[in-house]
Amino acid sequence: MSDLSQLENETLAAIESAADEAALENVRVAALGKKGSISALLATLGKMSPEERKGEGARINALKDKVAEALGSRKAVLKEAALAARLAGEALDVTLPTRASALESGRIHPISQVMDELTAIFSDMGFSIAEGPDIESDDFNFTKLNFPPGHPAREMQDTFFFDAKADGTRKLLRTHTSPVQVRTMLKNPPPIRVICPGRVYRSDFDQTHTPMFHQVEGLVIDRQAHMGHLKWVLEEFLKAFFEVEHVKMRFRPSFFPFTEPSAEVDIQCSRKGGEMRFGEGDDWLEILGCGMVHPNVLRNCGVDPDEYQGFAWGIGIDRIAMLKYGMHDLRAFFEADARWLSHYGFRPLDLPTLAGGLSS
């Protein structure tokens, strides 16, 4: 076999076996590139005699054309194959069901929802939000709120205490949100209108008690704030929260060290058919504690009781969430069971507003 036909066979075989366009390009460069085998042959033509050049030139050029043509058709085949592979890889079955986005499947916990609802209602009434730490001093949780040292009222709340420090003071996990009243009065001069939602802790555990739960405190301090205002605020709140036209409240005398007088508030309800309804019926349900802020508390917090007075209340958030949304076991709130949350939770973009509806 002549050198030329061997070169032709080898080159055509290489073209045929090039697996992709890059490999084919390598074959092209090796044959027809500047330093390619066929280009080298063409370069020899210049040194030949005119006679030789006639025969050899025609043969080498024919080989060049053949190789160029083989390269071209192989390239077309490879291009088509590459396109087919890409299309196969990107194939999309438009008949498949769509996958729910995180926004669709995520749920807002009922506690967060109720906190947002409270915030919407009280903001509309001109209240701001105040917060305090979960780890509180004995002084703010008890003493400044008029619990005398050693007084049995301290035992009313099953407190989680930290070990006492060298100076005898001890921190605790706040047992109620009332210390935020103290912090607010110490920081801001009256008039004051705040709500203080947050976590509180007591050593208690059964179907309606968990060691950590949530409260919202309300505090109004002004020159003439009185029980009539308290009653109006609570009534407006309860109507808005339970999304009913009317609520009937009953104030029962009670005792809290930080209020005088103190009251517990019941709302009228019906439990017909095992379903709780507000604004109707002849049952009563205890819902919150409240009262006029005790002059000692005002004094302890730098507010002159001869000039200012005010009222406060405390509500269990978990409890009103259970009442509004019909859960029976408080412990489930904190079990992080995704099935429970997808049943009782709220869609992330349905933010409660008074105009748009709280729970819709």
For the bound state, the minimum distance from the C-beta of residue 217 to ligand DAH, rounded and expressed in Å, comes to: 5
- Cα–Cα distance, 275 to 329 (Å, whole number): 15
Nearest residue to the partner ligand DAH, using Cβ: 314
Site mask for ligand DAH (CB under 6 A), range 259-278, x = bound: x-------------------
Evaluate the CA torsion angle 183, 237, 249, 286 in order and state its sign: negative
For the bound state, the minimum distance from the C-beta of residue 296 to ligand DAH, rounded and expressed in Å, comes to: 14
Record the tokens describing residue 174, joined without a space. 């706040």
Q: Which residues contact 344 (CB under 8 A, 6 or more apart)?
A: 110, 325, 327
| Residue 136 in contact with ligand DAH, rule: CB under 6 A | no
For the bound state, the minimum distance from the C-beta of residue 314 to ligand DAH, rounded and expressed in Å, comes to: 3
Residue owning tokens 């050049």? 53
| Residue 173 in contact with ligand DAH, rule: CB under 6 A | no
For the bound state, the minimum distance from the C-beta of residue 345 to ligand DAH, rounded and expressed in Å, comes to: 27
3-state secondary structure of 162: coil
Q: In Å, what is the CA distance from 154 to each residue of 14, 123, 142, 158, 199?
A: 93, 32, 7, 8, 19
| Residue 178 in contact with ligand DAH, rule: CB under 6 A | yes
| Number of residues lying near ligand DAH (CB under 6 A) | 11
| Residue 195 in contact with ligand DAH, rule: CB under 6 A | no
DSSP type of residue 248: -
Record the tokens describing residue 159, joined without a space. 């407190």
Record the tokens describing residue 112, joined without a space. 């967060």
| Residue 176 in contact with ligand DAH, rule: CB under 6 A | yes
Question: Closer to ligand DAH at the Cβ: 132 or 291?
Answer: 291
| Residue 11 in contact with ligand DAH, rule: CB under 6 A | no
Evaluate the CA torsion angle 239, 176, 132, 310 in order and state its sign: positive
- Cα–Cα distance, 244 to 188 (Å, whole number): 35
Site mask for ligand DAH (CB under 6 A), range 306-325, x = bound: ------xxx-----------
210 φ, ψ (degrees, to nearest 5): -130, 150
Question: Closer to ligand DAH at the Cβ: 8 or 318?
Answer: 318
For the bound state, the minimum distance from the C-beta of residue 360 to ligand DAH, rounded and expressed in Å, comes to: 30
Question: Closer to ligand DAH at the Cβ: 39 or 137?
Answer: 137
128-129 and 192-201 as β-strands: parallel, antiparallel, unpaired? parallel
Site mask for ligand DAH (CB under 6 A), range 207-236, x = bound: ----------x-------------------
- Interacting positions 286-305 with ligand DAH (CB under 6 A): 289-291
Question: Closer to ligand DAH at the Cβ: 147 or 346?
Answer: 147
| Residue 127 in contact with ligand DAH, rule: CB under 6 A | no
Return the number of other C-beta atoms located less than 10 Å from residue 301's C-beta. 19
| Residue 159 in contact with ligand DAH, rule: CB under 6 A | no
Give the interface segment with ligand DAH, choosing from 103-111, 132-140, 285-293, 302-310 (CB under 6 A).
285-293
For the bound state, the minimum distance from the C-beta of residue 320 to ligand DAH, rounded and expressed in Å, comes to: 13
Q: In Å, what is the CA distance from 267 to each residue of 208, 241, 242, 251?
A: 19, 13, 11, 9
- How large is the angle between the packed helices 110-124 and 227-242, nearest 10 degrees? 130
287 φ, ψ (degrees, to nearest 5): -130, -25
Return the number of other C-beta atoms located less than 10 Å from residue 112's C-beta. 15
Residues of the shown chain interacting with ligand DAH in the complex, contacts defined by CB under 6 A: 176, 178, 217, 256, 259, 289-291, 312-314
